[in-house]
Structures are given as structure tokens and as C-alpha cells.
Chain A
Amino acid sequence: GQQVMQIPQYQHVQEGEDFTTYCNSSTTLSNIQWYKQRPGGHPVFLIQLVKSGEVKKQKRLTFQFGEAKKNSSLHITATQTTDVGTYFCAPAPKANSGGSNYKLTFGKGTLLTVNP
């Protein structure tokens, strides 16, 4: 079955430093979603990537989908204390890879803490 690895598990940065989390899949993906969960909160949808090599930006956040559609990254430029939380990738395998057409699998997440 599909193996999803998200690294690093934890990242502590000084405010103003950059941050990157990576999501790697053992199988080719149909698409990938990213969610953010603030401490004590619930996951909130950030973005979905579908095309090979796709890059999308949301203010200081840059999301990339690998050319082979097996990995993705989320990069935050000049982190702020409001960026604190756990960032989850949710990759969806291609339908013919044996994965469910409906099930979304979440990575274990990267917990980001920011020192002000």
C-alpha cells in the first residue's frame, strides 16, 4: 500500500527564519492537499495541488508538487508566531494504484514552533 513520509517531524525556528516541510510518497499521486492545525484546534485546508511541477503561493507560503508527482513541499518565508502549528500533507494515490477513490490519507505532520 501507499507509504507517506512527512519530514521533519518537528521544527523549531526563530521568528523571521524560513521553514520547509516535505511530504514523500512511495507511489505516484493523483493530487495532494495541505492542511494546518493550530495548537488546540482542528485541521484547516490550505491548498490542493494537482499538476506535475505545480507551484502555488499564498502570501508567505509556497507549495510545490514534484515533477514525478511523488513528493511535495511547503515553504514558509520569514516565519511569524502565527505560523505555529502542525502542517499535514494529505496525498491521494492514483486510482489505478489500488488506492481507494475516496480515501484521503494524512501524513503524521510537521509541528512548527516559532520563537519570537
Chain B
Amino acid sequence: DSGVTQTPKHLITATGQRVTLRCSPRSGDLSVYWYQQSLDQGLQFLIQYYNGEERAKGNILERFSAQQFPDLHSELNLSSLELGDSALYFCASSVAGTGRTDTQYFGPGTRLTVL
């Protein structure tokens, strides 16, 4: 158990819908990272927040947005969902904001299925 929690574990929805994924980092960690994992694309970095502010952006679509709240939990919002958005979404956390050198602790993931 990494100490990072993610809800829900599974999500099944239809195309065009909007969903929110939630992540609570390990106690004491200030950074939260979001990743998308699909079979053909591997682990794709989406976005990082550090202490409430966006720190780094990866291959995140405009239909996706995220935020980190004062209590440091984070939400990833996915809208106008398409079939291709079906994937495993991981949240990770680390102590500091330097994603390149910090150890990242991953949550169990949310499996999103878009029908």
C-alpha cells in the first residue's frame, strides 16, 4: 500500500459524458501527478500540481482539466468523453515538486471504460 488513494476504482460511462477522478496523496506529500495508461501508449504523463499550483503539463487534452485543493487532494476532470479515453488513470504523489528526481508513489488507479 503506497498511501495514495484513488476513487473510484472503476468507472463505466458513455461517450460525451463527463467524469471526475479523485486522488488523495500520501500524508506530507505536496505534489500530485496524473498519468494515463493505455495498452498501446504506455504510461503518459498528463499534469502535475505542487501545493495547489500547476507545475508541469504533459500530453493532456483540452477536454481534460485538473486541480489540487487546499487539503492537497486532487481531481482530474474528463469531459466530452470519447472511446479512446478508455484507460487506466493513475495518480502519484511525491514530497517535493521536482518530479524529475522525486520518488513518485502511485495510487491503485481508476479504470475508465467509455462505451
Interface residues, chain A, with chain B CB atoms under 8 Å away: 30-31, 33, 41-45, 48, 88, 92, 100-109
Residues of B within 8 A of A41 (CB): 108
**Which single member of A42, A101, A108 contacts B2 (CB below 8 Å)?**
A42
Interface of A is mostly: loop
Complex Cα spacing A107 to B37, Å: 12
Residue from the list A102, A106, A107, A108 in contact with B100, Cβ < 8 A: A102
* Of A33, A48, A103, A106, the contact of B43 (CB 8 Å cutoff): A106
User: How many chain B residues touch A (Cβ–Cβ < 8 Å)?
Assistant: 27
A–B pairs, 30, beta carbons within 8 Å:
A31-B100, A33-B103, A41-B108, A42-B2, A42-B106, A42-B107, A42-B109, A43-B106, A44-B106, A45-B104, A48-B101, A88-B43, A92-B100, A100-B100, A102-B48, A102-B55, A102-B98, A103-B48, A103-B56, A103-B99, A103-B100, A104-B33, A104-B104, A105-B45, A106-B42, A106-B43, A107-B42, A108-B41, A108-B42, A109-B42
Contact indicator B100/A43 (Cβ below 8 Å): no
